[in-house]
Amino acid sequence: MTQSFKTGGRIQGHSANLLLLAGFAIVAFVLPIALSGNRYLAFVAGVTMIHILWACGMNLLYGYTGLMPLMFAGIAGISAYTVVDLTANGWSFWLALPVGALAASITGTVLGLPSLRLKGFYFTLCSLVIQTVMTLGFIYFSGLTNGDTGFSQIPLPSLRGEPLSSLSYDLVLAAAAVLGVMVLIAIMRSTLGRRLIAIREDDELAAMLGINVTGYKMIAFFVGSLFAGVGGALYAPYIGFISPRSFDVLISMNIWLMVAFGGRGTIWGPVLGAALLAPLSFFLQEYYTIKDVLYGALIIAVIVLMPAGLLGSLGRTPRLPAAEIDAPVPRRSPK
């Protein structure tokens, strides 16, 4: 890797992170209670929490490990379908959730295997193909997935025989998002985090330094997919409906955009990105004609104008040529 990646490389002030985390936790838990009078806004906030969780997982892979997995939504879908199938067969949601998330993790780890050989664009393209195959699969194996009609009327989970109230489930989502950020902070504080960054910066050098590149990439995929899986499992009963299109490439792109827009390789950038972009699609509901165009324009703006994202650009020394950063391809491309 020829480019250095200052913001991510620098271990941010830990106490600042803890303060921000406390602030985030307060906002996350107070928001559902404050918005409980308006189920719609509370719902938008809940969906945002799920996206924050997803963005953290994508950040681990894209921001910290330097891989852009466009099959992220498909992995979330594996978990969502598993949980819906299991609960339909009488499982408790709370038992199905870890099973579904684990299924997603294992799938994600297996589907991440190509990243051992492919880098940068080639891996991204590969993940795009995988995502396409997964979407086709969700349609094709209709015995498990109900095909393109999807599952509707997925009930909210219950606790001790009582269905959860919307507010309690909102709090569960908030807890999941806070926990997600905490886990990410913990990982980045640990040896694991530093080694992932080393791999992102230059995996050959990392290997020469004795880092088990294969192992760490697999761990990154396992953990990142766990984020996807937990989010997917929580998403299904919250929306009440899933279909192949709930987990298609556009969703992967949107999650990627949240990370890239907020600032990849920073803890709070993707959280900010998700908090800004996830509600946007709801608030733009009435301006449907411009929504896609706006999203596309945002993607281009990120690539052209601020490849390091909102937070990344703020805390950056200006000497790096801007466009270089978004090119995590090693010198030795796989050609």
Partner 1 sequence: MTRSLVCAAMISVAMLLSTGIGGAQEKPPVKIGFVTELTGAWTFFGTSCVAGLKFAEKQINTPGKRKIEFVIADNQTSPAQSVAAARSLDVQDKVLALSGPTSSDTGLAVYGYAEQNKVPFVVPVAAFPQLTKPGSRYTFRLEPDAVGWGYAISKFVEKQKPGGTIALIYSDYALMRAITAGLKYQAPLSGLKIVADIAFPQGSNDATVQAAQVLAATPDYVVVIGAGGFDNTITNQLLDLGIKPNQIIHPFGLTTQVMNWGKRSIGSYYGTFFDSNLDALTDEGKSFVEQFIAQYERPPSYGENFCYVTAHVIREVLDKNPEAADDREKFRDAMSALKTKETTSNIPIEFDKNGARKEYIYIMQITDIVGKAYKAKQTFYTEWDPEVIPVYTLVK
Partner 2 sequence: MSNANLIILLSTISTGLILGAIFSLVAVGVTIVYGSIWMPNAANGQFFLLAALFGWTMTVSWGLHPAIAAVLVIGLSVPLSYALEFVLIRRFYDVPNRNISYFVLSLGITQILAGIFAFTYGQWSDQFQLPPLIGGITFIGPLPVANNRLLVLVLALAILAALFALLRYHRYGRAIRAVFQNRDAAALRGVNVKASYSLSFALGNAVIFAGGILFALAYSFDLTIAWTMSITAFAIMIIGGPGSVLGAFIVGMVFGFTQAAVSTVASPTIAAFSYLGAMLLILLFKPSGLFAR
Footprint of partner 1 (CB under 8 A): 38-40, 43, 136, 139, 142, 146-150, 152-155, 239-241, 243, 245-246, 281-282, 285-286, 288-289, 291-292
Closest CA to 247 of 121, 145, 97, 125: 145
Q: How much is the CA Rg of the chain, to the nearest whole Å?
A: 19
Here the tokens at position 120 are 């940068």
* Closer residue to partner 2 in complex, CB, 213/329: 329
Q: Decide if 245 contacts 73 (C-beta within 8 A).
A: no
Residue 206: CB atoms within 10 A of its CB come to: 20
Judge whether 176 and 230 are in contact, CB under 8 Å: yes
Buried b (16+ CB within 10 A) or exposed e, 266-288: bbbbbbbbbbebbbeeeeeeeee
Q: Which is nearer to partner 1, 133 or 213 (CB)?
A: 133
**Angstrom distance (rounded) from CA 19 to CA 40:** 30
With CB under 5 to 8 Å by kind, the binding choice for 286 among partner 1, partner 2, none is: partner 1
162 binds, among partner 2, partner 1, none (CB under 5 to 8 A by kind): none
Q: How many CB atoms lie within 10 A of CB 19?
A: 11
Q: Which is nearer to partner 2, 227 or 295 (CB)?
A: 295
Q: What letter would DSSP give residue 148?
A: G
By a kind-dependent CB cut-off of 5 to 8 A, residue 130 interacts, out of partner 1, partner 2, none, with partner 2
By C-beta, is 107 or 243 nearer to partner 1? 243
- Among partner 2, partner 1, none, the one that 148 touches (CB under a kind-dependent 5 to 8 A) is partner 1
Q: Which residues bind partner 2 (CB under 8 A)?
A: 2, 68, 114, 117-118, 120-122, 124-126, 128-130, 132-133, 136, 140, 253, 260, 288-300, 303-304, 307, 321, 323-324, 326-329, 333-335
Smallest separation (angstroms) from partner 1 to the CB of 276: 17
Q: What stretch of H or E contains 159? A: strand 158-159
**Burial class of residue 12 in the structure, from the number of CB atoms within 10 Å of its CB (0-12 exposed, 13-18 middle, 19+ buried):** middle
Contacted by 300, from partner 2, partner 1, none: CB < 5 to 8 Å by type: partner 2
Question: Tokens representing 119?
Answer: 């880098």
Helix then strand count (H, E) for the chain reads 15, 2
- Contacted by 33, from partner 2, partner 1, none: CB < 5 to 8 Å by type: none
CB 155 to partner 1: min, Å:
7
**Residue 143 or 161 having the CB closest to partner 2:** 143
Coil, strand or helix: which one is 173? helix
The partner in contact with residue 39, picked from partner 1, partner 2, none with C-beta cut-offs of 5 to 8 angstroms by kind, is partner 1
Among partner 1, partner 2, none, what binds residue 43 when CB lies within 5 to 8 Å by partner kind?
A: partner 1
For partner 1, the closer of residues 120 and 147 by Cβ is 147
* Nearest alpha-carbon partner for 70 in 61, 81, 78, 79: 61
1 vs 201: CA distance, rounded Å:
5
